[in-house]
Structure formats: structure tokens, C-alpha cells
Amino acid sequence: MIFITNTPNNTGVAIHGDYMDFDELYDALHEIVGNESEYTSYEAARMRVLGVCYDIRHAIMGDREIEFVDNGMDGEKMKRLSMITPDKNIYLKIYVLWPEMLFVTMALNDFILLNHRKCKHPQWDKTTAVVRKLQAAFSECIKQTVSDASYKRMVNMMIHDYTWFDGYATQYLDILNCRFLEMDKEKRLKSISTMAKRLVERDDEYRKLRSEVMEAARKYNCPVDDIRLQLEYPEDIEW
């Protein structure tokens, strides 16, 4: 089972799962975003999803955190079942910044629809089912983190007619990530719904940035996705 929780400092979310869960999720995310250049206008969004995959792969390799979670077994149950078994399950864990996870979750809606065009029976597609489980777990995390009113607004923004992230200037996501990290714990919590709103609405700040990024890409004769902003993520993040 994959489950997602808010981090103590409201910096991001922790994605938990055992080895089999993470292995299945890793394969599903790779499958859903397609091969390189398969969806050219979605390449920037694809790379963000693969960024989560990178951490999942390292967790599977033992390079991320491990935690022990009660599995409901105790001495009485073992006696009744006539077996000896561990009373805890080992779960792997990765962290993702809130704005990043919001973006990835919404972008996955687009990739699911694109993937359905290739499926003979999309309703029974296993890859879609696994990705939807991740989205459902994140939705539950949002529900447990923000107020009921904020949760309803966020869900409406994130799923209404889908958002379509083709051609999205993900440099804006870097700005939101860094801005979010500069906030204190309380302000981050209040800003989660605002981050979702800014990702969806593409306000004047986004449009100005996208115009500047496209101009820089023309100037240097390179893909828009290759343009990097002068931003630095902190080396150590207090989750």
C-alpha cells in the first residue's frame, strides 16, 4: 500500500511504501509518461515525474529513509494463527516538496489521458490504476492537511476539466518551490492551496516568465526546457 503524509515542517510530503509497492509505482510512472520525445510538448512535465521516479529508485536501492510500521500483529493473534511473524512492516520513504507534488499529480492526469489513446481497454489498464492510487493517496494527504474549504477548492482546481500541462514552463515551478522553502512552517501550511492555484491559473507572473524563457531559448538557439533560472535549492532541506 502506498500512503502519503505531510512532513513535520509542512515542507512537502512523504511517500511511503514497501519494496513491492515502490517497484510497481516506479514502473507505472515510467510507463505512463511514455518514451523520450513521445509527447514532445510534455517533455518538461515528463521530467518532473521522472524526478519522483529517481527518488523512488534510490529508495528501492536503500539510499533513502526506511521506517517500521505496525502491521496489526501481536502475541495474541500469532497464538491464534499458530504462527510467529514480525509485528512491523518495513516501509521505504521519499520526500517531495508540496508545489512539486501538486504539479506532478496534476500532470499525471494529462499523461493518463494520453496513455488511454494507446490502450485497447483503458478502463482496465493496470498502469493507470497504479498511478490513480498514488493520486488518491495524495488527495487523502491534502484532505488531512488543509481545511475542508481549502480541500474542496483544491480538488476542484486540480481535476476540473483537467489542467493540461503541455508546453508548461516548469521554470515557474522552481520559483514556487524556492519561494515555498523560504516560508516558515505556519505560512507554508496556509500557502498550499495558493500554490495549487498559481500552478493552475498561470497568472501574469507565470506568463511573463514563460515569455522571458522562450525569448532566452530563441537567443541561445536551444529548447525552452534547457533554460535554467539562477535559483539555488538548499543543500539540506528540513522536512
pLDDT for 173-192, tens place per residue? 999 999 999 999 999 999 99
- The sign of the torsion formed by the CA atoms of 62, 145, 138, 3 equals positive
pLDDT for 30-86, tens place per residue? 999 999 889 999 999 999 999 999 999 999 998 888 887 776 666 676 667 677 767
Per-residue pLDDT at 181: 97
Per-residue pLDDT at 73: 64
159, HSE (Cβ side, Cα atoms, 13 Å): 10
Q: Where are the domains of the chain?
A: 3-168
233 pLDDT higher than 80: yes
Provide CB contacts within 8 A for 21, sequence distance 6+. Answer: 1, 2
How far apart are the C-alpha atoms of 201 and 10, rounded to whole Å? Answer: 23
pLDDT for 133-172, tens place per residue? 999 999 999 999 999 999 999 999 888 766 689 999 999 9
Q: Which DSSP symbol is given to 162?
A: -
Per-residue pLDDT at 122: 85
Per-residue pLDDT at 75: 66
Query: Nearest 5 degrees, angle CA 181-CA 185-CA 186?
Result: 125
pLDDT for 91-150, tens place per residue? 899 999 999 999 999 999 999 999 998 888 888 999 999 999 999 999 999 999 999 999
How far apart are the C-alpha atoms of 24 and 59, rounded to whole Å? Answer: 13
First-last CA distance in the chain: 22
Per-residue pLDDT at 78: 62
How many other C-beta atoms can be found within 10 angstroms of the C-beta atom of residue 224? 19
Query: Nearest 5 degrees, angle CA 79-CA 83-CA 89?
Result: 105
- The rounded radius of gyration (Å) of the Cα atoms in the chain is 19
Per-residue pLDDT at 41: 93
**What is the side-by-side order of every strand in the sheet holding 12-17?**
3-6, 12-17, 88-97, 65-70
Pick from 137, 130, 136: which is nearest to 24 by CA?
A: 130
